[in-house]
Amino acid sequence: MSRRILTDLSRDELTSWVEGTGNGSYRADQIRRWIYGKRVSSFDEMHDVPASLRNQLSEEFVLFASKISRHQTSKDGTEKLLLEMSDGEYVECVMMREEKRRTVCVSTQVGCAMGCVFCASGLQGLKRDLSTGEILDQILRADRLLKPDERITNVVIMGIGEPLANLKNLIPALLTLNEKGGMGLGARRITVSTVGLPEKIDELAELNIQFNLAISLHAPNDDLRTEIVPVNKNIRIEKILKAADDYFDKTGRRITYEYVLLAGVNDGNEQAVELGKLLKHRNAHVNLIPMNDVAPLALHAPSAPRTNQFIETLRSWNVNATVRKRKGADIDAACGQLRLDQQANAEPVVHSHDVT
Ligand code: SAH
């Protein structure tokens, strides 16, 4: 029988398992401290856990859900991992360094079913959901890239996949990231980015935890949005904004609206005005993302002056807007691109940095 992924177990589940082995339940917290706090890469390194229990752990579980298939480092310090899951599927995660921040961008699915026309992740549809442990694994892997004095400060759920389409597996992962006995990251340092699934936004709000919500709007009206984000056909912007407003009322967290700027498609002054009107009375921040080129697609970012004009127009409607900084451009750090490459080549990847 194949071994289970340890991080698929919640604290309660691990506690029951430990009790089942005849050990004291406090051993579960001890084990979790080694994984989330002390960055071990094997059960053997868990020195204060009895050897017999360590043996049982390694017979039943794997500590990592993935193998590192490729590890790239950008000139700006961004690192990107291509991770191979036990069934041979690939996902990506990215660790971005800023002066005071280390932000990890995490995937939630293998592929994506949303089909946004500018996005590399959805080009070949959805393969499957990631499990809770497979989501957390990306954080563990990124954490082990850091120097001893560096810590992960922020997590963005903005990698491959639609996080809210896999909410069942995502929620336990979010809770572990947030828990003291887990990664211990404040909820305000964790951002979930969604295409905008209203019922799922409501479900997330019901947790009553201050996770940040980012909504990929990309257009100010339904006709244009449905062209760019096909799932919008059955959703509509109004319902998304209602769910977002409720999320703000419940959590007090200002909503971020992401808007990929596509030259000649949604970057006109007309759209900026329409977006301004839509958001001016809301507690919102617009994050403009110049399109990152995706090889098979004929969509591109507008010029810098056009981008600046778009921002100025939004600001004239009293809507807060910034342009997302590009990180790791030299390593294709925009998510989905490496996995796509990997599939196109269908050859085993050459650089192996497996540390399991
Ligand atoms: N499915 C989620 C999270 C994944 S992507 C969502 O839709 O929000 C995170 C952000 O990157 C989204 O706003 C997405 O629209 C954007 N994105 C995807 N491909 C891009 C590209 N080629 N250039 C710029 N932004 C892109």
The reply to whether 250 and 193 lie within a common domain is yes
Tell me the mean pLDDT in the region 288-306: 93
**What secondary structure, in 3-state letters, does 202-258 show?**
HHHHHCCCCCEEEEECCCCCHHHHHHHCHHHHHCCHHHHHHHHHHHHHHHCCCEEEE
The reply to whether 51 and 102 lie within a common domain is no
| pTM of the predicted model as reported, rounded to 2 decimal places | 0.94
Nearest CA to ligand 1 atom 13: 216
Relative to beta strand 190-194, strand 109-111 is unpaired
Instruction: Check pocket membership of 294 for ligand 1, CB cut-off 6 A.
Output: yes
Of the residues 31, 61, 91, the one at which a domain ends: 61
Q: What is the CATH number of the domain that holds 97?
A: 3.20.20.70
Element (H, E) at 271: helix 269-279
Residue 73 counted as domain residue: yes
Residue 356 counted as domain residue: no
The reply to whether 11 and 134 lie within a common domain is no
> For residue 355, what pLDDT is reported?
28
Q: How confident is the model at residue 202 (pLDDT cuts 50, 70, 90)?
A: very high
Nearest CA to ligand 1 atom 10: 158
Tell me the mean pLDDT in the region 215-224: 98
> For residue 333, what pLDDT is reported?
65
Residue 355 counted as domain residue: no
> For residue 346, what pLDDT is reported?
45
The reply to whether 49 and 73 lie within a common domain is no
The reply to whether 15 and 112 lie within a common domain is no
Which ligand 1 atom is the nearest neighbour of the CA of 294?
A: 22
Q: What is the CATH number of the domain that holds 35?
A: 1.10.150.530
Instruction: Check pocket membership of 258 for ligand 1, CB cut-off 6 A.
Output: yes
The reply to whether 117 and 47 lie within a common domain is no
Å from CA of 158 to ligand 1 middle: 7
Q: How confident is the model at residue 349 (pLDDT cuts 50, 70, 90)?
A: very low
Tell me the mean pLDDT in the region 162-169: 98
The reply to whether 298 and 242 lie within a common domain is yes
Task: Judge whether 302 and 261 are in contact, CB under 8 Å.
Answer: yes
213, pLDDT greater than 60: yes
Domain count, the chain: 2
Instruction: Check pocket membership of 84 for ligand 1, CB cut-off 6 A.
Output: no
Å from CA of 19 to ligand 1 middle: 43
Å from CA of 229 to ligand 1 middle: 11
Instruction: Check pocket membership of 194 for ligand 1, CB cut-off 6 A.
Output: yes
Q: Give CA separation, 58 vs 43, 55, 63, 215, 280, in Å.
A: 7, 5, 8, 41, 55
The reply to whether 319 and 171 lie within a common domain is yes
CA distance 289 to 260: 4
CA distance 37 to 34: 6
Tell me the mean pLDDT in the region 141-158: 96
pLDDT for 41-84, tens place per residue? 999 999 999 999 999 999 999 999 999 999 999 999 999 999 99
Q: What is the mean pLDDT of the chain?
A: 93
Q: Measured in whole angstroms, how far is the alpha carbon of residue 15 from the centre of its chain?
A: 28
> For residue 339, what pLDDT is reported?
72
The reply to whether 13 and 82 lie within a common domain is no
Residue 44 counted as domain residue: yes
Residue 351 counted as domain residue: no
303: containing domain? 64-343
The reply to whether 235 and 317 lie within a common domain is yes
Instruction: Check pocket membership of 267 for ligand 1, CB cut-off 6 A.
Output: no
Tell me the mean pLDDT in the region 258-267: 98
Instruction: Indicate the burial class of 240 (C-beta count within 10 angstroms; 0-12, 13-18, 19 or more).
Output: buried
CA distance 261 to 292: 9
pLDDT for 226-243, tens place per residue? 999 999 999 999 999 999
Q: How confident is the model at residue 124 (pLDDT cuts 50, 70, 90)?
A: confident
Residue 226 counted as domain residue: yes
Tell me the mean pLDDT in the region 331-354: 53
The reply to whether 182 and 38 lie within a common domain is no
